[in-house]
Amino acid sequence: ELKVEQNPLFLSMQEGKNYTIYCNYSTTSDRLYWYRQDPGKSLESLFVLLSNGAVKQEGRLMASLDTKARLSTLHITAAVHDLSATYFCAVDASGSRLTFGEGTQLTVNP
């Protein structure tokens, strides 16, 4: 059974600081997705990572995938309050289902 683990689960950081969220998974896969969820809202797609070594950047967020280590990272640069949300990684190991991590609840304080 595929297990996807994120850490930390809760992250409180100050504006302007950098931090990294980690996503480990237990089964071989080269398809990993990052989603953002605001309270009471749906899942917004952030990044689609489809190969080993894939790196994607959008604004203050950068995601990478190391399929050999079964690890993805979501790096936050110079955080701003608007980035406060819950971030989920999700792994596709079967081609027809996403297995989500527990989510990282990020709070950026002024």
Partner 1 sequence: EPEVTQTPSHQVTQMGQEVILRCVPISNHLYFYWYRQILGQKVEFLVSFYNNEISEKSEIFDDQFSVERPDGSNFTLKIRSTKLEDSAMYFCASSPAPAFYEQYFGPGTRLTVT
Binding site for partner 1 (CB under 8 A): 31, 33, 35, 41-45, 48, 50, 88, 90, 92, 94-103
Residue 107, burial from CB neighbour count under 10 angstroms (0-12, 13-18, 19+): middle
d(CA 7, CA 82): 21
Q: Given the complex with partner 1, which of 83 and 89 has the nearer CB atom?
A: 89
Question: In the bound complex, what is the minimum distance in angstroms from residue 80's beta carbon to partner 1?
Answer: 24
Length of the chain: 110
Residue 73 CB, nearest approach to partner 1 (Å): 19
